[in-house]
Every structure is written in C-alpha cells, then in structure tokens.
Chains A and B, each alone.
Chain A
Amino acid sequence: MPKTKVKSYGINLAIAAVVYLIIHMIFSNGMVSRTFVDLFTLCTIFSIAAVSLNLSTGLLGELCLGHAGFMSVGAYTSALITLSIDSPGNTPILFVSLIAGGLTAALSGIVVGIPAFRLRGDYLAITTLAFGEIVKVVMRSMKITGGGQPLTGISLDTTYTMGYWVLIITIIIIYTLIRSSHGRAILSIREDDIASEACGVAVTRYKLIAFSLSAFFAGVAGGLYAHYQGVLEPSFFDYNQSISFMVMVVLGGIGSLTGSVISAFFLTLLPEILRGLAVYRTLIYSTVLILLMLYRPEGLLGQKEISQRFFGNIFRRVREGPPPSSGVGGSSVIPQENIPVSGSAERNGDSTLRERTGTSSGTPEEPLERKWKGRR
C-alpha cells in the first residue's frame, strides 16, 4: 500500500474516532434527550442499509428493490439467535448474531442473484421485488418467526456506539473493496458489462460477489434494527422501506458512500423535525427522485466522498482560486485518490464515459448514437 494511502486512511480513521468521542461526550453527559440518542442510532442503522444498497445499485449498477427483504432476513436470524441464547447485554453474542444475520442475508442474496444474473437487463429489479414480497409472506407464515404475530422480547442491545462503529466498519470494507482490483472489476461492469466481459472480467461472479456483500450488510443492519426496536414485524420491511433506502442512495449520490450516510441521516431526521409534513413525505420523496433523475441523475454528491481530502481540496481551491473551468484541468488540483474510481473521465459524469466507451463509430452517426446509446 502506498504511503499516501496509509496516511489518508489513518487521517480519516482518526477523524471518525474524534467524531465518535464528541458524540460520546454529548450523549453520555445527558446533554440531549434519550429520544435523540435513539434517533441517532436509527440513523446509523439506516445509513448501513443505504451504504450497502449503494454497493449494489450505485457501484455495481443493478437496481435492487428488495433491500428491506434482506434486512428482514438478517433481523429475524439475529433476533432468533439472541432469543434462543437469552443473554441480554452480551456484546460478543450480539456480534455473532449480527454476522449470522448478515450471512443468511448474503446466502439469500446469492439464491436471488443466481437466476437474475443469468440475464442482462432489469431482471434483478423485478426478482428482488418479488423476493421482498416472498420474505414478507414467509415471515408471516412461519411459526418460529411469530406466525403472523410480531416477534417480541428481543433485548435492546443496539447502542449508538455499536451502530456508529458498525457503520464505520461497513464503509471501510466497501471502500477498500471498491479501490481494490476486484472493485475496479465491479465498477467496469457498471460502466459496460459487455466490454468488461470482453476484457476478461467474470461478470456474473463479480455481480454475485458485490450483490451478496450488499445483502450481507443489509442483514447486519437488520440485526442491529432488531436489537434496536425490540419488536419485529414483517410488514416493516416492505416495498416502501426498500424504496426509501433507494431514495437515500439516489439523493446522496449514486456511488458515494458518505453521500448515502448524509442523506440517510437527513431523511431519517427530516420527518421528525417536520412532523406536520408526514402526509406529504412520500409525495416529496417521489418528486425529488423524478427531478433528480431529470436534472442531476448522479445524485447530489455524485461520486465524491466526504473525506479529509475533500475538505483539503476545498481549502486549496479557496487559497489558489478556482480551477480552470475548461476540459479536465481540474485534475491538477484534485489528486487522484479523492475519488474511488480513478481517472478524470468519471468526474465529468457517467455520460461522458459512456460516450467514450460506448459503441460510437464515426462522426456521421454521432448524434444518433448519442440519442439511443446505453439501452441494451
């Protein structure tokens, strides 16, 4: 690992620790109400779900409409484990149950992914949607999961410390994966799966890896949620919940992990602040989604990550004046490590890269190509 990378990881980890200490000081001194602490924990759980959805949707480029279903699988598995051992407050056991929940979710991800990834196109969207419905029906009809009744008596072991650090671990794992050679394979599939297959990337295998990892973290988030809420109901993990995770990912930036965290916090806190608007929440969500897709399809943050470099670049830009606006001149100001996907093409948005790698052939066809490309 190059030294700059080590340094940058170290700084970001230190920032995370400092942020935690500040939060810990505020929360443990009773400066904020109990409700707020709980809300913060919920935010971290939803952030984990959103970040993991970003792996399958933002980084792999496959639409997953059953993310709440994976969460449900993880939540029930984890809750049943701790219920059977019955040791409230035992953190190692909670950890084991979280990982078990994640593994069952990942397994179900593989089961869903194998039929769906045999085909190109939007089949994963519809299969995961179906999966979410099946999970709901199964959880309702199985005796062990309550058989139509909510599953109760789960010990409330998820603390804000737990949520925060699991979130940090999730981000670290997904971020390092994306910057490894495997991650680049995953990103290449998003950009053009046919081209990457031609370059020797095992498309189906990488899709399965990324998708099941995404399901794994969704399962972990589900386990945390189970021990946060204490009560599990199959109907909580429904289609609308999956869609609200999708809104978090799209709003924060398709491909930006920290963006997902910010928008998960924002969208979880917003209804608490604006209680009067609860009725209009979904209406606002959907309108925002349509407008974002029409005018800024990469989401608010695009693929940028909030890290020490991000702020460093802002300071540098303020000191040195704005970067040259034409071409990719900005790359002299922004170091390569700033963005998980290297190269300057991504910074200009998906479309430019698509145009470059796309099937455009010769100038006369150019306008037509631009009009119909990207639809396979």
Chain B
Amino acid sequence: MTYFILQFLNGLQIGAIYALVALGYTMVYGIIKLINFAHGEIMMTAAYFIYFFMTLLDLPYFLAVILAIVFSVVLGVLIERIAYRRLRNASRLSALITAIAVSLFLQTLYAILFTPDPRAFPLTASSFPVLEIGEITLSSWTLITIVVAVIVMILLQLFVTRHKAGKAMLVVSEDLKGAYLMGIKVDRIVSMTFAIGSALAAIAAALYIVSYPQITPYMGALPGIKAFIAAVLGGIGLIPGAMLGGFLLGLVETMTRAYIPSSVAQLSEGIVFVILILVLLLKPAGLLGKSEREKV
C-alpha cells in the first residue's frame, strides 16, 4: 500500500509537469489551431537558461528560474512573430511544417552551441529534506512540484476567468473572426498566449530538471510529445482538460512502469502512444470535450 501511495505521488509529480506543458499546447491550439511542435524546445531552452544562470552567474535557483521565465517568454513571442504570424492565413500544412522546422532548428542549434552531451544539473531532488509520513518516505521536492504546479494552474484559471485579457483569450479561441470584429486586438492576444505558454513551459522545466537532473538539447522532445498527448486526452483547446490530461497521463505512465513486469518493460514506453490512439478511437474530443459537428 505504501508502495502504491508513493507511486501515486510520483505520478502526480510528473503529471503536474506534463500538465504545465500541456497548457501551453492547448492554449495555442485553442487560439490559432496549430500544434506548436516547438513548445517542448522552449522547455529545453528554459532548462539551459536556468543551468547557465546558476553555473556561470552563480545565481540562486529561484532567481535563475525567474530570469529563465523572462527569457523563455521573449523566445516564445519571437518564434510566433517571426515564423508563425505570417503563416496564419496559409494552409495548415505549411504552419505545421514550420512548427516542426522551428523545433528541429532549436534542437540542432543547441546541439551545435552546447554539444549534445548531457550536462548535470547542480541541484537535485536529493538536496531537499526527506519527509517521513507514517511509513512513506519521500523527497519534499515531490510535494513542492505538485503544490507549485497546482498554484500556477489556479492563478492561470483565475486570470482566464476574471481578468479582461484572459477573457479576451477565451473569446479569441471561441471565434477568432468574431473577436476581431468585436475590436479585440487578436495579434496581441496571440502573442500573449505564446508568452503565457512559454512561461508555463519554463516553470515546468524548472521543476523537471531538479527531478531529472540531465540537460540535453533533445530533452524537450519526449515530454513535449507526451504533454501534447495529455492535451488531446483532456480535450484539446480546453484549459481544465490539459490539467486533467496531464495528471492522468503522469499517473498512468508511472503506474505501468511500477507494476508491469520488467520483461515487457520496453513496451511500457509506448503506453502513452497507445493511450493516444485509444482516445482518438473512443472519445476523439477528449475527456472533457464535447464533440461538435463542424460548421461550414
């Protein structure tokens, strides 16, 4: 039982990170209907930013994270500005190919600049005090991750439902043309969405690299894809969906890894992809989504 609770908390921890990344995917998809493949790479660049701020400038972790968030926001907005904005009226295929190319570009650029070798992050989960609750011993970092992620999500939800700009974002995702006619500055809202998404990805990176203290140019790819699947699982375009999907995916992944016999452990890597195909087959709109007939 203690094993189960421990695995459950671990699942929530990685799920919280997936959920933060998934939010970026789902908000961008909700607004401009683009799978932003470069989103995972924003997480990767944020990890490098934090690493360099801490090792080269000797900044404390917290300050490094704040700075990395700022830099990631700038990067995310720049990507949208340079690569995506001109393609907003082009075919979907062009936009998707561009997104893939941007992701590939960032990966290779970082591999050339900083070599593809993994770098060890100076701060690890073991440097946080160990908690003992009854029979369960776990790092306090696990709880910190979950709590930070949940606070960020609550703030985001408040921003979207209460603040004017957040409401404008919802309106744009509802009907871009209509929002344009209502005098909402759509371009500014799209930039804001990319900024928020990038900030969330940077926070996710900050939480991720302490648990998995290895930084490589390719570290963003797999969590990125998994986070996208989480977004699809919860219902793409829906903010609560991304949160739910992220936590669920993290739980499923950790549980299969914990309980599946090691002889088929190889197969557990593919479990998230199987989930994706199952979701598309059984409930294509996602867990929270309503399937709507497309209007002409």
Contact = CB atoms under 8 A, between A and B. Distances in A.
Contacts of B101: 285-287, 289-290, 293
Contacts of B95: 293
Nearest to B231: A126
Nearest to B180: A368
Contacts of B92: 122, 374-376
A56 B229 CA distance: 23
**Secondary structure class of chain B's binding surface, majority of residues:** helix
A90 interface: no
A372 B276 CA distance: 29
Interface string B77-105: 00000010011111111111110111011
B33 A121 contact: yes
B27 interface: no
Given A115-B281, A116-B280, A372-B180, A294 B87 contact: yes
B280 A285 contact: no
A370 interface: yes
B209 interface: no
Most B CB atoms within 10 A — which of A194, A286, A374? A286
Nearest to A58: B93
Contacts of A129: 225
Nearest to A242: B100
B129 interface: no
Given A122-B92, A126-B229, A294-B86, 15 more contacts: A63-B97, A127-B276, A129-B225, A130-B273, A134-B273, A134-B274, A137-B267, A283-B108, A293-B87, A354-B91, A368-B180, A371-B89, A372-B89, A375-B32, A375-B176
Most A CB atoms within 10 A — which of B32, B88, B105? B105
Given A126-B228, A372-B176, A293 B108 contact: no
Interface string A114-134: 111011111101110111011
B94 A293 contact: yes
B280 A123 contact: yes
B154 interface: no
Interface of B: 32-33, 35, 83, 86-98, 100-102, 104-105, 107-109, 112, 176-177, 180-181, 221, 225, 228-229, 232, 264, 266-267, 269-270, 273-274, 276-277, 280-281, 284, 294, 296
- For chain A, give the interface size range: 35 or more
Interface in A338-375: 350-351, 354, 359, 368, 370-375
B35 A140 contact: no
Nearest to A121: B33
Interface in A86-142: 112, 114-116, 118-123, 125-127, 129-131, 133-134, 137-138, 140-141
A246 interface: yes
Contacts of B229: 126, 130
A359 B87 contact: no
A109 to B, nearest CB: 14
A141 B263 CA distance: 9
A246 B96 CA distance: 12
A351 B112 CA distance: 37
**Secondary structure class of chain A's binding surface, majority of residues:** helix
Contact of A283 (B32, B96, B98, B109): B109
A137 B280 contact: no
B266 to A, nearest CB: 4
B108 A118 contact: no
A137 B269 contact: yes
Sorted nearest first, the 5 A-B pairs with minimum C-beta distance are A289-B101, A130-B273, A286-B105, A141-B266, A286-B104
A79 interface: no
Contacts of B177: 368, 372
Contact of A122 (B35, B98, B107, B264): B35
A297 B98 CA distance: 10
B108 A286 contact: yes
A343 B289 CA distance: 41
A363 to B, nearest CB: 16
B90 A118 contact: no
Given A286-B108, A375-B88, A376-B33, A294 B98 contact: yes
A374 B95 CA distance: 11
A280 interface: yes
A274 B96 CA distance: 29
Contacts of A297: 87, 90-91, 94
A294 B83 contact: yes
Nearest to B177: A372
A67 to B, nearest CB: 13
Contacts of B104: 243, 282, 285-286, 289
A130 B276 contact: yes
Contacts of A239: 221
